[in-house]
A and B are shown apart, each in its own frame.
Chain A
Amino acid sequence: MTRDFRARQIWTIARLELRRVFFSKRSFWVYGLALFPVAIFVAAAIGMTYERRSYEAVNRVSPALINSVNEGESVEAVLERLGTPVRDREFRRRHRGEDDESEELLVIRNLRYWDGSRFAELRFRNGILEAKFIRQLISLERQRQAYNGVFHYYYLKLAIFFGCLGIFMNLFRGEMLDKTLHFWLLAPARREVLLGGKYLAGLLASSVIFGAGAALMFAAMVWPVDPLEARAFLAGPAAAQWARYAGAAMLACLGYGSAFLAAGLLVRNPIVPAVVLLMWESINGFLPAVLQKISVLHYVQSVCPMPAPMDDGAPALVRLFLAPAPGTAWPLAVLGLCALTAAVLFVAARAVKRLEINYGGD
């Protein structure tokens, strides 16, 4: 048998498997995992667009006018100068004095003004401006931070992890449960060829699902941003960043896919390898440098354009588990992950050669 023939067999197996991976009922929740953050970003974008339109419909003041408002001004003076606010809220509350005996009635009024990209919250106490907060409604930088956080903490650590668990564990274990694995084992193909075909199918499917999810999420992130700012971003670093996020998603599929494919051949219960691998990946940040290299997340995080965000005020335990390990240069990270994947697939190939049909045992 020629190498060319085996390559054709791998592709045939992958093609046949792809249909099953993409359209089986078992895979539908994987779509849910991949598209959930897209839905959140789209919903947020719709919300922000709606909010902006509603402000535009009421009143839009110049940025200079907003900047001109100072603490200590009366509410009447501000209303006269800036006109109708886009939002006007008033409430009253009783305030106990410092001597703890006297009581005073406070009238709090919040006015919101909109200048086309920022809004100002003006807080009046008994008719006098007490505080002024100015904020961008939509900021590209904030959107990018949000995207980066979601990508690191949800997409890489949960969605792709569990998505690959669902896809790759099922490639052999699912067929064993369906009692259809013999169909493949009776084909005139080497077991390694069968493994290669199934892995390729899983990799293509998961890469398409999660790569597309990352790309859609990226588009949804840019959508509500000011068109001028968005255009500048898209003409600049957007393509490179998008490629690195999508690449990181696909590399995560490559690494986790091999791990779960091997696990599907070596153990019966998917929960055990999932928990072990999840723990291993979680504690990666404080493992010795040598052990850090036996981790998918270690390499994948190095490929992302921005490190995982970490709040300085986060509890120590949370920081311990979520803090990323020191990164590696991304070309080295890609090579490292490919080497790790090859090693895991080698173990899987040895396992698949020993694989026997024992439906009764499952």
Chain B
Amino acid sequence: MSAPEIVFDEVSKFYGEVLGVNRVTLRIPPGITSLVGPNGSGKTTLMNLLTGLVHPDRGSITVRGFSPRDPERLMRITGYATQYDAAPRGATGFDFVCTSLLLWGYDSRAARTRAAEALERVGLTEAAGRKVAAYSKGMRQRVRLAQAIAHDPEVLVLDEPLNGLDPVVRAETIALFRDFAARGRHVVLSSHVLQEVDVISDQVILIANGMVVAEGRIRNVRDEIDERPSQFLIRCSGASRVASLLFGRDHVSEIKMVDGREGLLVMTRDREQFAAALNEIALAGHTIESVLPADENVDALYEYLIGGQR
């Protein structure tokens, strides 16, 4: 049985003198992993390295125990919806998916059945007979997804998979990713839509200038950023009084009144001391309705770690 991890070990890739990625070391467990970074940061290069479309100049990669230099084994367990928009000339959506299944070794009948099922999963049944060249951007996105999932892969790699999708299809697509992840599979995707990444990802990998800036669960990554105080949004009655009680604490660096003085945005350098202080305030009779982390999301991490390079 293959090891259920994707491992990059000191991987570097250069395109001539242009840096693709530099000394990337990663261990990606099953679940939904998002690659986040500005344009040209190396997200697509990482995905292409993972699927063997480009080869590393240094370092090694294994995908659930298989090397990307062995496409015969690797691509049997991997589906990749690339960012490349083109399909073979004259191919209909159905041909496009069915043809790749023939390459996977399915006989014609099984390939047709699976192609129809995959197209149904992405909501393209009605348009299956039309040429891919005549598809809209969103439909092309979906047909590429159908091709990637048609052979039921263990590793699903998706380059900007939510681009061009309408809200309904977007929700269905995210549900499909979750379904894959729930079955112990890898879903590795890149996205610029940070709010969505935040909602759907089990973990994120932040990349800038070809280097991994941070990786892991969003909360864990946030905890590692010491130089930025954590932000919490507090809803309470008597916000001014609560603010004055908090302001005397050493770990609190800044407090802002928000939402017409019914809320506070508190910046603290010590989350545990902050939690203890809130307990004291609540026990003293002040009503605290809710406390929410305001910067435990990809947007904030992106801003803290990569923001200057955007």
A interface with B by C-beta (< 8 Å): 1, 5, 8-9, 12-13, 16, 20, 24, 178-180, 182-191, 193, 353-354, 356-359, 361
Contact = CB atoms under 8 A, between A and B. Distances in A.
B80 A188 contact: no
B73 interface: yes
B75 A188 contact: yes
Contact of A188 (B74, B88, B89): B74
Contacts of B53: 182, 185-186, 356-357
A20 B89 contact: yes
A182 B103 contact: no
Contacts of A190: 71-72
B277 interface: no
Q: Across the A-B interface, give the 8 residue pairs with the lowest CB-CB distance, nearest first.
A: A188-B75, A187-B103, A357-B53, A179-B86, A188-B76, A356-B54, A180-B86, A190-B72
Contacts of A5: 105
Contacts of B73: 188
B67 interface: no
Contact of A185 (B15, B71, B99, B105): B71
Contacts of B103: 9, 12-13, 16, 184, 187-189
Nearest to A358: B15
Given A1-B72, A187-B71, A182 B54 contact: no
B100 A359 contact: no
19 contacts: A24-B89, A178-B86, A178-B89, A179-B84, A179-B86, A180-B84, A180-B86, A182-B53, A183-B88, A185-B71, A186-B71, A187-B100, A188-B74, A188-B103, A188-B104, A189-B103, A353-B69, A356-B53, A356-B54
B100 A183 contact: yes
A10 to B, nearest CB: 11
B87 interface: yes
A190 B69 CA distance: 9
Given A183-B87, A188-B103, A354-B55, 14 more contacts: A9-B103, A20-B89, A178-B89, A179-B85, A182-B82, A184-B103, A185-B71, A186-B100, A187-B103, A187-B104, A188-B71, A188-B73, A189-B72, A191-B71
B300 interface: no
A6 to B, nearest CB: 8
Given A187-B100, A358-B54, A180 B105 contact: no
Contact of B71 (A20, A180, A189, A359): A189
A188 B99 CA distance: 13
- Name which of B71, B80, B99 has the most chain A CB atoms within 10 A of its CB: B71
Contacts of A16: 99, 102-103
B52 interface: yes
B55 A356 contact: yes
Contacts, number: 75
Interface string B197-222: 00000000000000000000000000
Contacts of A188: 71-76, 103-105
Contacts of A357: 48, 53-54
A9 to B, nearest CB: 7
Interface string B64-100: 0000010111111000101011111100000000011
Nearest to B99: A16
Contacts of B51: 186
A182 B82 CA distance: 9
A61 B80 CA distance: 80
A13 to B, nearest CB: 7
A188 B80 CA distance: 12
A183 B69 CA distance: 16
B131 to A, nearest CB: 14
A104 B259 CA distance: 123
A57 B89 CA distance: 55
Contacts of B100: 183, 186-187
Given A9-B105, A191-B71, A186 B80 contact: yes
B57 to A, nearest CB: 11
A1 B76 CA distance: 11
Contacts of A354: 55
Contact of A12 (B71, B89, B102): B102
A115 to B, nearest CB: 58
Contacts of B82: 182, 186
Nearest to A26: B89
Nearest to A175: B88
A12 B106 CA distance: 11
Contact of A8 (B86, B89, B105): B105
Nearest to A353: B69
Contacts of B80: 186
A354 B52 CA distance: 10
A180 B85 CA distance: 9
A186 B75 contact: yes
B160 to A, nearest CB: 15
Contacts of B54: 356-358
Contacts of A8: 105
Contacts of B15: 358, 361
B55 A20 contact: no
Contacts of B48: 357
- Name which of A8, A9, A353, A356 has the most chain B CB atoms within 10 A of its CB: A356
